């Protein structure tokens, strides 16, 4: 999976490049928005990491230009600016996520994996979360080499958790994911499906309960 | 400051006007009375004079003596008075009694003829008219007197009518003044309403179109002040954004490089030293973040924060979701018990507040402990929204509770990453929301419960 880092601070860019390489990504780095656009003309990347405070064209403008020219690859804004207004602007412009410096490398790697996973699932490819593999187009679930048979509702719950792996998903949201087939399902129904999923997937795929809120499928931290 | 200095303009106007007006009322009554009483008195006196002259016409003189005989009709005419008793007395040239009511005082002889005098007769106040009549037998003095009931009654009625009409006038004037003051102060009251209706953070200039000329310098000064505060807040936010960038970028570089280095390091002893460096870098990052957060939540930088309806349940759930990984690493059970609760506030400030409360609870709770975020409506009295974070950790001794909101204050004997700014940030945000912070024990007298109760005024209808 190829990542392009657009960052003008050499120390940060080098740290990110090395860290993400260690996590198994193929990483390229440019120091300005203009160079990023040039690189994107010739090559394809699965994910863009964009700093906001760039010399010349800033990160927000870069995202705006990319989206206007029809490029849909996921964009993660990595910036020192943490004002709410900046976040709102970034997401409005079409960025997919927002990470404030300084960050821990595992957190950065997890966000990158989540964004790539989401864009792949949207294009019908598979999703891998640790030993768990979801084949979106064939609706097939595997844990390590073992094929797991899931009902449609179990699949819907797992797909929703997998799409947001590493994040807490509320019961309400999971309920919405399964209520496409049957109206008036209570949140108790979600508990039933979670318990069946845990039974079928085994301990290798930890689905954690967040008391009073929902569930989280652990994102394997490399 | 003199207590009078703080009187309202309405009170000043009414109080300064009412004194002179009362004096004017008194003077008006006195003048009206004085002006009205003289012609009244003159009219009654003229009637008395007419009577004494008519009586004198009845007088007959005979040679050698004076005879005074009133015909019964004349007598009846003389005595005919519904209100007053009439007395008469006829005295001869040597003041000898000739006829009438003996002892009736007569007016002293003077230039006036007939002459009038006030006197007392048979325990009654009387007015008497004396006429010195020249006859062949010499000067005869005829005196007619009447009690003053009629006059008193007339005077009394006149006084009452003057007092009544003047008082009515006075009342009308007071009413007009009151209405005038009200009308005159209306633009000021409208201005006050305009200022009241603003949230504490709104710094837009006041609308001056309906402000009277006298008050305009005041609104202009206020608008200048608002503009200054606004631009200061803007400058401070700009400064904070620059400071954040300059602080965070090298910290991010340092932290990522150390993490990469740690993974590359082969010797355990080197890894331990890198871990130490990483720990220090993380603490530095945390403190930098907290300092920036504290600066940003201060009223001066925060003067333009937008207040709106905030769903506390969303905020509580977001805080729990955001800290779940941190809780997991410390093996703490983090959960939420959220009831519907909404208040007026700034969503990002409240998110910052709760993030600090949860972070604190996770930092100081025991491993395998519990941290619970709750929100809901207070059930006692007026419904007020609250949000609280409770842990079953070591708790805060009662005598320390007042100090923990102080900046950089840390409980004696605590370790960990805390820099002592979390509760100071919370306190600033609580204050900017006019909310109330309570620190108490958790359930079963263990741990800490930090509750933020919003004011009833912030209740979303």
pLDDT tens-place string over residues B65-98:
666 666 677 777 777 777 888 888 888 888 888 8
Nearest to A159 by CA among A186, A182, A138: A138
Q: Is A211 part of the contact surface with chain B (CB cutoff 8 Å)? A: yes
Same domain, A39 and A105: yes
pLDDT tens track for A146-159:
999 999 889 999 99
Omega before B271 within 30 of 0, i.e. cis: no
| Count of structural domains within chain A | 2
| Count of structural domains within chain B | 3
Picking from A116, A147, A180, the residue at the C-terminal end of a domain is A116
With respect to residue B225, please indicate whether it lies within any of the assigned structural domains.
yes
Picking from A95, A116, A137, the residue at the C-terminal end of a domain is A116
Whether residue B163 has pLDDT greater than 50: yes
Mean pLDDT of B143-165: 90
Same domain, A131 and A29: no
Same domain, A135 and A177: yes
Lowest model confidence (mean pLDDT) among A26-30, B50-54, B423-427:
B50-54
Please judge whether B334 and A167 are an interchain contact, meaning their C-beta atoms are less than 8 angstroms apart.
Answer: no
Whether residue B304 has pLDDT greater than 80: no
Query: Contacts of residue A108 in chain B, CB cutoff 8 Å?
Result: 256
CA distance, residue A90 to nearest chain B CA (Å): 16
pLDDT tens track for B97-140:
888 888 888 777 778 888 888 888 888 899 989 888 887 778 88
Report the mean per-residue pLDDT for chain A.
Answer: 89
- Where do we find the tokens 């519990």? B370
Please judge whether B252 and A15 are an interchain contact, meaning their C-beta atoms are less than 8 angstroms apart.
Answer: yes
pLDDT tens track for B389-442:
999 988 888 888 888 888 887 777 666 666 788 889 999 899 888 899 999 988
* Distance of alpha carbon B83 from alpha carbon B153, whole angstroms: 10
CA distance, residue B216 to nearest chain A CA (Å): 36
Report the mean per-residue pLDDT for chain B.
Answer: 85
Please judge whether A210 and B320 are an interchain contact, meaning their C-beta atoms are less than 8 angstroms apart.
Answer: yes
- For residue B348, the domain's CATH number is 3.30.565.10
Q: What is the dihedral of CA B28, B31, B33, B35, to 10 degrees?
A: -140
With respect to residue B166, please indicate whether it lies within any of the assigned structural domains.
no
Please judge whether B260 and A100 are an interchain contact, meaning their C-beta atoms are less than 8 angstroms apart.
Answer: no
Same domain, B295 and B323: no
With respect to residue A156, please indicate whether it lies within any of the assigned structural domains.
yes
With respect to residue A121, please indicate whether it lies within any of the assigned structural domains.
no
Q: What is the pLDDT of residue A148?
A: 92
With respect to residue A31, please indicate whether it lies within any of the assigned structural domains.
yes
Same domain, B255 and B320: no
Of the partner residues B257, B321, B337, the one whose CB lies closest to the CB of residue A167: B321
Higher pLDDT, B151 or B300: B151
Q: What is the pLDDT of residue A130?
A: 85
- Residue A58 domain boundaries: 2-116
By C-alpha distance, the chain A residue nearest B251 is A102
Picking from A57, A87, A116, the residue at the C-terminal end of a domain is A116
Same domain, A139 and A210: yes
Whether residue A222 has pLDDT greater than 50: no
The H or E element that residue A75 is part of is: strand A75-79
Q: What is the pLDDT of residue B192?
A: 84
Query: Contacts of residue B338 in chain A, CB cutoff 8 Å?
Result: 212
Chain A contact probe: residue of B249, B283, B293 with most A CBs at under 10 A: B249
Report whether B170 contacts B6 (CB < 8 A). Answer: no
Same domain, B271 and B239: yes
Cβ-Cβ contacts under 8 Å between A and B: the total is: 101
Lowest model confidence (mean pLDDT) among A172-181, B200-209, B296-305, B315-324:
B296-305
Same domain, A202 and A132: yes
With respect to residue A210, please indicate whether it lies within any of the assigned structural domains.
yes
Please judge whether B245 and A80 are an interchain contact, meaning their C-beta atoms are less than 8 angstroms apart.
Answer: yes
With respect to residue B213, please indicate whether it lies within any of the assigned structural domains.
yes
With respect to residue A41, please indicate whether it lies within any of the assigned structural domains.
yes
Q: Is A173 part of the contact surface with chain B (CB cutoff 8 Å)? A: no
Please judge whether B252 and A83 are an interchain contact, meaning their C-beta atoms are less than 8 angstroms apart.
Answer: no
Of the partner residues A11, A103, A104, the one whose CB lies closest to the CB of residue B250: A11
- For residue A191, the domain's CATH number is 1.10.10.10
Please judge whether A80 and B248 are an interchain contact, meaning their C-beta atoms are less than 8 angstroms apart.
Answer: yes
Percent of chain B with pLDDT over 90: 25
Of the partner residues B249, B260, B320, the one whose CB lies closest to the CB of residue A9: B249
Please judge whether B338 and A9 are an interchain contact, meaning their C-beta atoms are less than 8 angstroms apart.
Answer: no
By C-alpha distance, the chain A residue nearest B258 is A15
* Distance of alpha carbon B402 from alpha carbon A184, whole angstroms: 49
Chain B contact probe: residue of A213, A216, A217 with most B CBs at under 10 A: A213
* Distance of alpha carbon B427 from alpha carbon B74, whole angstroms: 106
Q: What is the pLDDT of residue B380?
A: 78
Same domain, B145 and B132: yes
Same domain, A189 and A109: no
What confidence tier does B382 reach under pLDDT thresholds 50, 70, 90? Answer: confident
With respect to residue A107, please indicate whether it lies within any of the assigned structural domains.
yes
With respect to residue B73, please indicate whether it lies within any of the assigned structural domains.
yes
Please judge whether B251 and A101 are an interchain contact, meaning their C-beta atoms are less than 8 angstroms apart.
Answer: yes
Same domain, A146 and A109: no
Same domain, B313 and B452: yes
Picking from B305, B335, B355, the residue at the C-terminal end of a domain is B305
Higher pLDDT, A83 or B213: B213
By C-alpha distance, the chain B residue nearest A53 is B245
With respect to residue A50, please indicate whether it lies within any of the assigned structural domains.
yes
Same domain, A156 and A94: no
Same domain, B301 and B327: no
Mean pLDDT of A116-138: 85
Same domain, B76 and B126: yes
Lowest model confidence (mean pLDDT) among A218-222, B108-112, B141-145, B287-291:
A218-222
Same domain, A92 and A179: no
What confidence tier does A220 reach under pLDDT thresholds 50, 70, 90? Answer: low
Q: Is A19 part of the contact surface with chain B (CB cutoff 8 Å)? A: yes
Omega before B114 within 30 of 0, i.e. cis: yes
Q: Is A22 part of the contact surface with chain B (CB cutoff 8 Å)? A: yes
CA distance, residue B231 to nearest chain A CA (Å): 18
Same domain, A109 and A134: no
Picking from B261, B283, B305, the residue at the C-terminal end of a domain is B305
CA distance, residue A70 to nearest chain B CA (Å): 31
Same domain, B274 and B373: no
Query: Contacts of residue B292 in chain A, CB cutoff 8 Å?
Result: 82
- For residue A28, the domain's CATH number is 3.40.50.2300
Please judge whether A11 and B372 are an interchain contact, meaning their C-beta atoms are less than 8 angstroms apart.
Answer: no
Same domain, B320 and B239: no
Picking from B248, B276, B305, the residue at the C-terminal end of a domain is B305
Same domain, A111 and A139: no
Whether residue B64 has pLDDT greater than 70: no
With respect to residue B2, please indicate whether it lies within any of the assigned structural domains.
no
With respect to residue B394, please indicate whether it lies within any of the assigned structural domains.
yes
pLDDT tens track for B332-360:
999 999 999 999 988 888 999 999 999 99
Sign (positive or negative) of CA dihedral B404, B408, B413, B417: positive
Instruction: Output the six-digit token pair for B212.
Output: 């009277």
By C-alpha distance, the chain B residue nearest A12 is B253
Same domain, B339 and B434: yes
Same domain, B260 and B276: yes
Please judge whether A168 and B321 are an interchain contact, meaning their C-beta atoms are less than 8 angstroms apart.
Answer: yes
Of the partner residues A103, A104, A210, the one whose CB lies closest to the CB of residue B335: A210
Q: Is A167 part of the contact surface with chain B (CB cutoff 8 Å)? A: yes
With respect to residue B165, please indicate whether it lies within any of the assigned structural domains.
no
Of the partner residues B237, B259, B348, the one whose CB lies closest to the CB of residue A105: B259
Mean pLDDT of B194-198: 78
Whether residue A65 has pLDDT greater than 70: yes
With respect to residue B315, please indicate whether it lies within any of the assigned structural domains.
yes
Same domain, A89 and A182: no
Q: What is the pLDDT of residue B81?
A: 76
Q: What is the pLDDT of residue B200?
A: 59
- For residue B15, the domain's CATH number is 3.30.450
Query: Contacts of residue B260 in chain A, CB cutoff 8 Å?
Result: 15, 18-19, 22, 105
- Residue B353 domain boundaries: 308-458
With respect to residue A222, please indicate whether it lies within any of the assigned structural domains.
no
Of the partner residues B253, B255, B338, the one whose CB lies closest to the CB of residue A212: B338
Instruction: Output the six-digit token pair for A140.
Output: 């097939």
Same domain, B14 and B104: yes
Of the partner residues B237, B252, B335, the one whose CB lies closest to the CB of residue A102: B252
């Amino acid at each position: 999976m190829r990542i392009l880092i657009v960052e003008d601070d050499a120390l940060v860019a080098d740290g990110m490049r090395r860290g993400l390489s260690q996590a198994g990504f193929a990483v390229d780095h440019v120091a300005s928005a203009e160079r990023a656009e040039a690189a994107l003309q010739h090559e394809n990347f699965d994910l863009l990491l964009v700093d906001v405070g760039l010399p010349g064209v800033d990160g927000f403008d870069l995202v705006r230009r990319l989206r206007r020219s029809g490029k849909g690859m996921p964009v993660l804004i990595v910036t020192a600016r943490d004002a709410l207004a900046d976040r709102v602007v970034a997401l409005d412009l079409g960025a997919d996520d927002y990470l404030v410096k300084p960050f821990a490398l595992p957190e950065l790697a997890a966000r990158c994996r989540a964004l790539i996973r989401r864009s792949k699932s949207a294009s019908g490819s598979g999703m891998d979360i640790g030993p768990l593999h979801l084949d979106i187009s064939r609706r097939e679930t595997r844990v390590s080499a073992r094929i797991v048979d899931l009902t449609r509702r179990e699949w819907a719950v797992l797909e929703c958790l997998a799409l947001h792996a590493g994040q807490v998903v509320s019961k309400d949201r999971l309920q919405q994911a399964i209520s496409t087939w049957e109206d008036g399902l209570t949140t108790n129904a979600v508990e039933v499906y979670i318990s069946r999923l845990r039974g079928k997937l085994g301990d290798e795929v930890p689905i954690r309960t967040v008391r009073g809120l929902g569930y989280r499928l652990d994102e394997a931290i490399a | 400051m003199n207590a009078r200095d703080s009187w309202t303009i309405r009170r000043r106007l009414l109080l300064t006007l009412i004194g002179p007006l009362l004096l004017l009322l008194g003077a008006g009554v006195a003048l009206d009375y004085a002006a009205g009483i003289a012609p009244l008195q003159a009219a009654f006196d003229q009637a008395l004079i007419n009577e004494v002259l008519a009586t004198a016409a009845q007088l007959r003189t005979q040679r050698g003596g004076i005879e005074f005989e009133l015909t019964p009709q004349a007598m009846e005419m003389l005595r005919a008075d519904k209100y007053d008793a009439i007395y008469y007395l006829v005295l001869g040239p040597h003041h000898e009694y000739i006829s009438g009511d003996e002892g009736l005082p007569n007016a002293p002889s003077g230039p006036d003829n007939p002459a009038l005098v006030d006197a007392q007769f048979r325990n009654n106040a009387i007015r008497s008219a004396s006429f010195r009549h020249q006859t062949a037998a010499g000067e005869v003095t005829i005196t007619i007197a009447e009690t003053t009931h009629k006059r008193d009654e007339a005077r009394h009625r006149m006084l009452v009518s003057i007092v009544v009409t003047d008082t009515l006038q006075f009342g009308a004037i007071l009413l007009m003044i009151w209405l005038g003051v009200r009308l005159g102060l209306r633009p000021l009251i409208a201005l006050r309403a305009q200022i009241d209706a603003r949230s504490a953070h709104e710094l837009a200039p006041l609308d001056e179109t309906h402000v009277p000329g006298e008050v305009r310098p005041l609104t202009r000064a206020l608008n200048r002040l608002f503009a200054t505060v606004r631009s200061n807040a803007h400058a401070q936010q700009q400064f904070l954004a620059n400071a954040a960038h300059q602080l965070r970028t090298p910290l991010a570089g340092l932290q990522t490089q150390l993490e990469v280095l740690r993974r590359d390091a082969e010797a355990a002893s080197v890894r331990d030293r890198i871990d130490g460096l990483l720990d220090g870098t993380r603490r530095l990052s945390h403190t930098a973040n907290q300092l920036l957060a504290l600066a940003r939540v201060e009223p001066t930088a925060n003067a333009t924060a937008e207040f709106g309806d905030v769903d506390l349940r969303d905020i509580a759930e977001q805080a729990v979701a955001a800290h779940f990984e941190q809780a997991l690493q410390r093996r703490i059970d983090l959960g939420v018990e959220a009831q519907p609760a909404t208040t007026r506030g700034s969503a990002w400030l409240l998110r910052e507040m709760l993030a600090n409360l949860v972070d604190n609870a996770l930092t100081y709770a025991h491993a395998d402990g519990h941290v619970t975020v709750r929100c809901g409506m207070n059930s006692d009295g007026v419904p007020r929204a609250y949000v609280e974070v409770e842990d079953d950790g070591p708790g805060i001794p009662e005598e320390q509770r007042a100090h923990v909101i102080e900046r950089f204050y840390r409980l004696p004997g605590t370790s960990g990453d805390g820099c002592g700014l979390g509760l100071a940030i919370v306190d600033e945000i609580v204050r900017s929301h006019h909310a109330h912070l309570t620190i108490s024990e958790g359930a079963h007298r263990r741990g800490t419960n930090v509750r933020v109760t919003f004011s009833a005024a912030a209740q979303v209808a």
